[in-house]
Chains A and B, each alone.
Chain A
Amino acid sequence: MSTPMGAAAPNPWRRRALLWLPLGAAVGAGAGFLGMLRGLRTGDYDPRGVPSALLGKAPPDFALPPLEGADRPALTAADLRSAARPVLVNFFASWCAPCVAEHPFLMRLQRAGVPLMGVAYKDRPADSLAFLRRHGNPYGRIGVDQPGRVAIDWGLYGVPETYLIDKTGLIRWRWAGPITEEVLGRDLEPLLRRHA
């Protein structure tokens, strides 16, 4: 890096440029890390699973049975392709406490007219039904994924987890964790406007 033999460098400009190199490398790496941290929040960057591979692609093919007693039709991949507006797909379970925490925000989205599709993940249908009876049902369609096989195809990290699918049927956004006021204002609402 510096002149190794202790003598003055032949070209002072090259030496100066070399002295700037560490700073450049550090700033470049820092910018990358900052992007990764942002990506961790938005779901664009996830060092663990492989779900980011789905971003920009169509969801994997599936057909889930309906939740008996919920008066909602079943959910298949075809329902996500033919929407006139962006659709949210929300994986939930009655045994998951953060799902209860995010539920009021799902209800708010539903009242605002955003189409929501629910996937009951590794849950007994009776429990899912009781959950929706107690907290309200924001979903237009509900699929039951009791063995959790569809969740594997989607690369689910855990519940709750939410995907945004645009009008052309491509996955545009993924959020692992509960939807909060902050997530709604910062990420979801701008995205819904952009893809509307």
Chain B
Amino acid sequence: MIPELGHFALALALALSLAQAIFGLWGAGRADARLMAATPPLAGGVLMAVAAAFACLMWSFAVNDTTVENVVQNSHSAKPLLYKLSGTWGNHEGSMVLWVLILALCGSAVAAFGRKLPSALQARVLGVLGLVALGFLAFILATSNPFNRVWPPPEDGQGLNPILQDPGLAFHPPLLYLGYVGCAVTYAFAVAALIEGRVDAAWGRWVRPWALAAWAFLTLGIALGSWWAYYELGWGGYWFWDPVENASLLPWLALTALIHSAIVVEKREALKTWTIFLALLAFGLSLLGTFLVRSGVLNSVHAFANDPARGTVILMLLMLYVGGGFALFAWRAAAMQPTGVFAPLSREGGLVLNNLLLCSITAVVLVGTLWPMFADYLLEQKISVGPPFFNTALLPLAVPLVAAMAVGPMLPWKRARLWPVLQRLWWAALGGLVAVLVALAFAGWHVLPALGFGAAAWLIFGAVADIADRIALFSRPRAALARARGLPRAAWGAAMAHAGMGVLILGLAGMGLATDRLILMKPGETAQLGGYGFRLEGLRDVQGPNWTARRATVAVTREGRPVTVLEPDRRSFPVGRMTTTEAAIHTTWLADIYVVLGDERDGGGVLRLHHNPLAPWIWLGAAIMALGAGISLSDRRVRVSAPAAKAARPGQGAPA
């Protein structure tokens, strides 16, 4: 009964979102106030219906209802409750329902917080969001119904992929979807603006919080995924330039460009066409990711179910939304005339440079991701594009980007001179130089990591210099504290996000100095790595809730003193007939000590020992970046009025 209710709720949501699309777009087109006024409640209705469907699906997973095909394929009664629940979105069908749920949440947020938007704009945005929801609900109902029954019901489910039974991964997809779907809102704003043929400062002020919120969630989602890969896959790496990873990075890059160019629209009413393009691109790239992961056209360790029939429908939706958006762009964007004029060297100019570099990086990643597929298809050549390509191609773009990152925020609008800015940054540059020299002195001749340390110091000190400059810490230190209190939170947020990037680069540079060692050890033997001693104490069997494991006990010492005891596992899951490695990690914040247990032979175990300097700082940096975005979102300027609509209480972005 519950699954049927869920199925019905999905169908209801489909009907409501159709009404939302028609009322919103047609009503705004005819300037019919009654139709437009009906749109926000419809968005609320879609949210309730989708939430009901999702709750039904979750309930089916929680009670392990084996008459539901999706539960049978993806769950098992022996799984801990948390992973039963996270199993709801750990599969193709359920994750699509979650996707639509978050979309409906965003739609309702636009409806609830957007009362002070011009009503035609709000109706059009909601109409476009309704159109997007319509397509995906139709897709779910037609090809991926999560409520399909099986009869007779099997005794128990077939288990979830044990690699996915992990708290990090349980929350990785929802965060990513919050990011992807946030792009849908900026897309809807872009399409609405194209239909109206008007982009102004108010529009920029509306779009930016959404882009910022989406960016923050995407940052966290990508970081969580990378952290998961680091500790769960047991390869000791954090980013593999895998196509699926790239698919989440692409919208992030486009969004990063968007949150910067939207500032120019908001403050100076320039770069309008470009900002619209970025908003369309960000959503297009997030849909492209969905398509690549679910259609089976690419070869990846984390691809979802491979179903070309499903892929065709996703491709059709992708072409409808992206192609439609770009067609509208080609047709209408010429009407967007910029009003603000600025000199090449100015804050605007700096943001243009940022956009050019970020878009070049996006293009490189996009080409590197798609080229192997197109080469296979068009030229029938199997090639693989891996880390060497990405590292070589991206480095020359990343260096100027990082160099400009500290300078940009200190440039005045319209017209600037470089010299005064560089004077205020001299000690950040000095800090960077010192960091390079210190790294070379202590870690030996490793040029790239040393440059990384320099870049990190430059960014962190640059952010500090920016804040110090704004509150006149050195010139008039007495009133600095008062000025710091008065400084807009957006400024604090921006400085934090830039410093967070510095912390992230610090972690990357540290990982550039990582060392590892593969060694067959018998109990009682000791190995050395990175100044630590590793002594294998013993190997034993362990019984978990739904797995059995071999566990090694490794005592770690430094200069004879005990540091910690690490216990890496090799788990086997009888239900899924899979084996996973659970790395044991000890972090000192200056470095991770990371041990993985491999095969056993001759009474000993093959151990992989890693010494990863500064590794945790990668994810710490990402968290700081997301926090910076959050602080920026709490800025008064975001909450209070857009110039076109006085005393508005705009959509705070945070859709959850």
Contact = CB atoms under 8 A, between A and B. Distances in A.
Interface of A: 1-8, 12, 15-16, 19-20, 22-23, 26-27, 29-30, 32-41, 45, 47-48, 50, 52-53, 55
A30 B330 contact: no
B656 to A, nearest CB: 30
Given A1-B277, A22-B329, A40-B296, A32 B323 contact: no
Contacts of A47: 296-299, 373, 376
A23 B377 contact: no
B577 to A, nearest CB: 15
B614 interface: no
Contacts of B271: 2, 4, 6
Nearest to B327: A23
A29 B370 contact: yes
A37 B277 CA distance: 28
Contact of B281 (A20, A22, A32, A36): A22
Interface in B293-325: 295-299, 306, 308, 311-312, 315, 318-319, 322-323
Most chain B CB within a 10 A radius of its CB, from A3, A6, A27? A6
A1 B323 contact: no
Contacts of B284: 26
B323 A27 contact: yes
Contacts, number: 107
A7 B291 contact: no
B136 interface: no
Contacts of A33: 291, 295, 297, 311, 315
Contacts of B334: 12, 15-16, 19
Contact of B315 (A7, A37, A53): A37
Most chain A CB within a 10 A radius of its CB, from B270, B370, B377, B380? B377
Given A2-B274, A5-B342, A52-B376, 12 more contacts: A1-B273, A1-B277, A19-B333, A22-B277, A22-B281, A27-B323, A32-B373, A33-B315, A34-B312, A40-B311, A52-B380, A53-B380
A55 B348 CA distance: 54
B280 interface: yes
Interface string B273-289: 11001001100100000
A3 B274 CA distance: 8
24 contacts: A2-B273, A2-B274, A4-B274, A5-B341, A6-B348, A7-B341, A19-B329, A19-B330, A22-B277, A22-B329, A23-B326, A26-B326, A30-B318, A30-B319, A32-B373, A33-B295, A37-B297, A37-B311, A40-B311, A45-B297, A47-B297, A47-B376, A48-B299, A52-B376
A20 B295 CA distance: 28
B96 interface: no
Given A22-B280, A37-B295, A47-B298, A6 B342 contact: yes
Nearest to B339: A6
B320 to A, nearest CB: 10
Interface of B: 268, 270-271, 273-274, 277, 280-281, 284, 291, 295-299, 306, 308, 311-312, 315, 318-319, 322-323, 326-327, 329-330, 333-334, 337-338, 340-342, 344, 348-349, 352, 356, 359, 370, 373-374, 376-378, 380, 382
Contacts of B322: 26
B367 to A, nearest CB: 11
Contacts of A20: 330
B209 to A, nearest CB: 23
Contacts of B299: 47-48
Contacts of B296: 40, 47
A45 B376 contact: yes
Nearest to A44: B377
A7 B318 CA distance: 33
A15 B334 CA distance: 8
Nearest to A30: B319
Nearest to A2: B273
Contacts of A37: 295, 297, 308, 311-312, 315
Contact of A40 (B268, B297, B382): B297
A47 B308 CA distance: 12
Contacts of B338: 3, 6-7
Given A26-B322, A29-B370, A53-B380, A6 B270 contact: yes
A55 B277 CA distance: 41
A55 B382 CA distance: 14
B557 to A, nearest CB: 45
A6 B264 CA distance: 10
Contacts of B329: 19, 22-23
A34 B315 contact: yes
A34 B281 CA distance: 20
Most chain B CB within a 10 A radius of its CB, from A27, A29, A47? A47
A3 B273 CA distance: 9
Given A1-B274, A23-B326, A30-B323, A41 B291 contact: no
Contacts of B308: 37-38, 40-41
Contact of B344 (A5, A15, A45, A52): A5
Question: Which 6 A-B pairs have CB atoms at the shortest separation, nearest pair first?
Answer: A6-B270, A23-B326, A47-B299, A2-B273, A40-B308, A22-B326
Most chain A CB within a 10 A radius of its CB, from B298, B333, B352, B359? B333
Contact of A22 (B330, B340, B349, B356): B330
Contacts of A35: 377
Contacts of A4: 271, 274, 352, 356
Contacts of A6: 268, 270-271, 338, 340-342, 348
A57 B356 CA distance: 46
B454 to A, nearest CB: 29
Contacts of B344: 5
B323 A53 contact: no
Contacts of B356: 4
A50 B381 CA distance: 9
Most chain B CB within a 10 A radius of its CB, from A27, A30, A37, A45? A37
A38 B315 CA distance: 12
B511 to A, nearest CB: 29
Nearest to A40: B308
Given A19-B329, A45-B376, A36 B297 contact: yes
Most chain A CB within a 10 A radius of its CB, from B291, B334, B344, B359? B334
A35 B380 CA distance: 13
A26 B284 CA distance: 9
Contacts of A53: 380, 382
A20 B271 CA distance: 17
Most chain A CB within a 10 A radius of its CB, from B281, B306, B374? B374
A48 B268 CA distance: 50
Nearest to A17: B330
A11 to B, nearest CB: 13
B266 to A, nearest CB: 14
B640 to A, nearest CB: 27
Contacts of B306: 40
Contacts of B318: 30
